[in-house]
Structure 1
Amino acid sequence: MHDSIGIPACFSSSDHRQADKPASVGKSGQSVYMSVYRIKLAGQFCLITVTWCRNLLLHGLSVSVQGPDGDEHYSCKVELKPWYFWRKQGSKHFIVDGRTVGVVWDLKTAKFNGETEPRSDYYVAIVCENEVVLLLGDQKKDAYKKTGCRPSLIEPMLVSRREHIFGKRKFSTRVKFNDKGIFHDISVECNNNISSNSSSDGFDPVLEIRVDGKLAIRIKHLQWKFRGNESINVGKNGVEVFWDVHDWLFGSGLRHGLFVFNPIPSSSVSASSISAPSSPPSSSSKSMPLSNQEGNPASSGDFDNATGSSRFCLFLYVWKVE
């Protein structure tokens, strides 16, 4: 499992079609949060990607739209420079298939709370033909007033999210598994220092995955079970969790592990509830079926019958810093 990670170059002046490789993301220490939405743009469904990037020097936002021909059309790169004056609100436009798409943002009072992505007091709106096709943030009234556009009749659908996070032992994030659900806290922790010769040094690394503070999965003898998958319950929803930490154990230099959280219909999953951490599920020896993870999620038409919401997939790239 060594997939290509396509990330817009948020901070460089290079052509936007150049994508960072995993190694370059790791070397720069750049936290990246990519959310992909399925929207209806001028009568046609397409994908739009909103990317928040942060490294030691800069903080920025990038928006791209996949046109009907499959090409990506990047719009603005908004750089948040704390020691310079920068436009904390503004707008930019670009053309997709002959139609003008606008990006309008207001980050004057945005609260980041030390995170890459803002938590509150902001908006980012994408508009086309007098419709707000995608609206992020909690200042929705201000966004509609500023743009002068009406909401789209077709609600956008969040289909995937990719996060790159860095740490030494414990890695945490927050995520919604369906549009109408609540945020859940997810943490990944390995209780031993990992090296390429961990077994000979007597280490027996154990990987623990927690949801809302409760133990969901515990993998012992990680050097033999570095890939696998397990089904768990998160509230009333079933979630299939895949992991691949091969490079943590056997690679050299800064490497990432991959964790995938894929909601499944509650009626079809047989999972152990995370409310019983005293009996955590054992890891599966089944290999991760991730070869097609770069496919178009918007065309799958897959829905959760139990909740009536779209299927969503979280890709968590965890970079271990020694």
Structure 2
Amino acid sequence: MLQSATISLTVIFELEYKSKISAVEGVSSVTWLDDSIDITEPLETADSKAVENYYKDNLALMSITIDEDHILDAVSEIRNIVGSDNKMEGSAVSTAAATESTVSEIAKIAAIVVAFVLFVLVLTTTSWAEPLIIMLGLGVAILINMGSNLIFGEISFVSNAAGSILQLAVSLDYSVFLLHRFEDSRKSISDPKDAMVDALCKSTSSILSSGLTTVIGFAALCLIRFKIGADLGLVLAKGVAISLITVFVFMPNFILIVYKLIDKSHHRKLLPSFNKFGKFVSRIMIPMTAVFVIIIAPTYLASNANSFYYGSSHHHQRKRSYTL
């Protein structure tokens, strides 16, 4: 009698869980023991296989179906309902966990990348203001790209999270080219506006060739059958195109406004001269070319011998192999 009473109380408690979970927005269905048998009858008299599928050792297993558009919020709310003592598994849980961890990690990576880029720019420029000017121009392009993603209707969270970092990485040199060309032009042209016109004329071909090559490369991702390839390719191709427009439209005017600040914040070169390194490279040009030609064949064969894995199953397979 004591065991039957305990089971009855537990079943009632699980039905309360089911009711709360069913009320969560985005949950389309919750399947449990009461959908297979009549739980008003003693469980000892019910089909043991049917009971064990949903209830065993005083533990209940519920199958929950969640709408794709509400996965993050629904999983979070269900986790709050069941508490940390209970376990959640399934594709929706994996998607929610991957999304949350990716967004969190991308934010940390972005902070590290921005700090590292600023450090490199400080080392390679001759003005304390130049790194900030370059990063501000890139920030404008990145914000415009993120906002203009609305034209696609929807994009993957991976594209949204990683797109800004990749855009920063591939578009960094455009503003650097223009700014350095402007400084060179000012040495022979006294008027800043004329110097900027000269800088644009001399740098447009190199910037466009570099930028359009990158745009075409990202656009090629659209040919991948895996949908996220096209998604990421469109976002990044558009981002690089916007960066090019920003360099040719926004940056020249912005530089002309703040060029006096650049002049006031000049400092000596922080990096040594690389003339000796350049001479050394020119001396070993032919031997190194021969070395690279020789290693092409074995490295090509090695690339074909690589093994590939997809998704998160590889980690679990490795883990299982260690426990056997």
TM over 0.5: no
**Structure number having the greater strand percentage:** 1
TM, length-normalised to structure 1: 0.19
TM-score calculated relative to the size of structure 2 = 0.19
> Which is richer in helix?
2
